[in-house]
A and B are shown apart, each in its own frame.
Chain A
């Protein structure tokens, strides 16, 4: 077990900067998820820690050791690949035993350890099978067993659940998290699935275009997104963003955009005169079927029925606003009225796209 520290790590492939001056600290025994869209550099970061890629700049520390020039085999890290990367010509037993065999562990001890870890993961009945005779979920467990068997300092996982069907994925999420807690191994987990990140992580590092956008607990990421990217990436359906201005009209403060204006609480007076991007989640909206004071009229473009939840897509020319329709309201006709909940509104700077103010309770 060990902590992992990245200091100003940069990795370029030709002209493309895959990882850009990334600094990150993963504490001993912590479960950290690298989250981001494809091509954001999260997998490259993982490969840098594994030693499969060499950084162009910066330092990578595992435990108390600078590992920039240490061979992957000697870093004492284990990795689970997205495709599992099992050795197709070996049995399950052979696969799990392989890292121990390479490390020169005596045969009897190898046997003991393989059986132990196979039992832990519930695959002790499959030891004589070849990977091709296993289901996706079973292959996944074998890959985990192979990584666990030599008791690594750091556990690296590259989208390990993305090849499983939805039901199994949910199940494995909890099992993985349980296992990690039980064993207390420092784990770095790469995914583009925000639900996976939110449910499993102690801390989430959100990345985009090779840069770290925000590093914090799932709650911080969700409720205090550092910038427009994080706010838009985490949450489903994505957060609504509207560009506009904070202005004073008569005695009140208004958010004025080219699509609509919205009366705000007076606490936002510090933003007076500023250009802002207002953001609010579809779930954090009050909806009324009839016109009401302070509500914005919206023309319904379509309803997205997801069983328990229904979302309405509202049309404002080149802007589309998505709002959640409460169960108690039945949408008749094609007009509804809505306003974001004041305490769940975010204001971002339009130039830097950084968060400048979080909503307050009125």
Chain B
């Protein structure tokens, strides 16, 4: 009996490790390749030990005049998106979950339907709107588009629904209108959900590529992902190894964030999976 159990667990771990390796492979490959010359990195079959070991790719990265600027742009973009989502979607989620008003459920269904529309469909209309606002090639214009996110509203709503209704009723009897109730009771209680929304939105904004690529034009306004992809594009080819090094540097904050805040991410999933 015991032996069978051990064998079973060993088998499970074996499968898990194999899958983990498959998922990790591109990442490991990137780390290794960032220390290789392009000549070695592009060899087939692939080699796994950098020879010669070179820091050239990172040096090239540091030499980019706009590298710091792109990091700041990305941070600014992600910052606005996170702040906007935290504030507005928690308010909207609270209203949908706890306030009674005419058309509430219809409105919420309409919003949910929006989640089914692929982002590409709205790309052109969004561009036209931002263009007529004179905000093309401006981080602000780009950020406005992501300042409120339907899935964040959904997540917040589900979280507020999961809180006991009596707490809100008690607040009502204690003299809270909807606004006081939001700021004194609902928002402070929603920290876990707010944390999840913040982390998701930060990851999304920090890694965003298509949006910034379309809405930003001048190199000094680029975010990090877009900037890097342009920086190493030569006339006929792409200099991949410094690009890989750049991507690794760019993903550093998101990796750190995941390690620190992954309980919020998991909680976010748990919330959405909860009560309908």
Contact = CB atoms under 8 A, between A and B. Distances in A.
Interface of A: 50-52, 72-73, 77-79, 81-83, 85-89, 98-99, 102-103, 146
9 contacts: A73-B175, A73-B177, A77-B173, A82-B166, A85-B164, A87-B170, A87-B185, A98-B171, A102-B176
B181 to A, nearest CB: 10
A73 B174 CA distance: 6
Interface in B161-185: 164, 166-167, 169-177, 180, 184-185
B175 A99 contact: yes
B175 A85 contact: no
Contact of B172 (A72, A86, A89, A146): A72
Contact of B170 (A51, A77, A81, A103): A81
B164 A102 contact: no
Contacts of A99: 173-175
Contact of B188 (A72, A89, A102): A89
A83 B173 contact: no
A83 B164 contact: yes
State the main secondary structure of chain B at its contact with A: helix
B166 A72 contact: no
B124 interface: no
A103 B189 contact: no
B188 A78 contact: no
Contact of B189 (A51, A77, A88, A98): A88
A85 B189 contact: no
A208 to B, nearest CB: 25
In the A-B complex, the 6 residue pairs with the smallest Cβ-Cβ separation, listed nearest first, are A102-B175, A85-B166, A85-B170, A99-B174, A73-B175, A81-B166
Contacts of A78: 173
Given A85-B167, A87-B185, A52 B172 contact: yes
Contacts of A146: 170, 174
A83 B173 CA distance: 15
Contacts of A50: 169, 173
A228 to B, nearest CB: 34
A34 B106 CA distance: 38
Q: Interface range on chain B: under 10, 10 to 19, 20 to 34, or 35 or more?
A: 10 to 19
A98 B164 contact: no
Contacts of A103: 175
A176 to B, nearest CB: 18
B159 to A, nearest CB: 14
B189 A89 contact: yes
A102 B172 contact: no
Interface of B: 164, 166-167, 169-177, 180, 184-185, 188-189
Contacts of B164: 83, 85
Given A83-B164, A102-B180, A52 B174 contact: no
Nearest to A89: B188
Nearest to A78: B173
Nearest to A74: B175
B174 A102 contact: yes
Nearest to A104: B175
A146 B177 CA distance: 18
Contacts of B184: 98, 102
B205 to A, nearest CB: 28
Nearest to B167: A85
A52 B173 CA distance: 8
Contact of A52 (B169, B175, B180, B188): B169
A31 B42 CA distance: 86
A24 B66 CA distance: 77
A73 B188 contact: no
B169 A85 contact: yes
Contacts of B169: 50, 52, 79, 81, 85
A271 to B, nearest CB: 50
B173 A73 contact: yes
Given A89-B188, A89-B189, A83 B166 contact: yes
Nearest to B187: A89
Contact of B173 (A72, A86, A88, A89): A72
Contacts of B176: 73, 102
B173 A79 contact: yes
A87 B171 contact: yes
B31 to A, nearest CB: 42
A88 B191 CA distance: 12
Contact of A73 (B166, B172, B185, B189): B172
Nearest to B189: A89
A150 B176 CA distance: 14
Contacts of A83: 164, 166
Nearest to B191: A89
Contacts of B175: 73, 99, 102-103
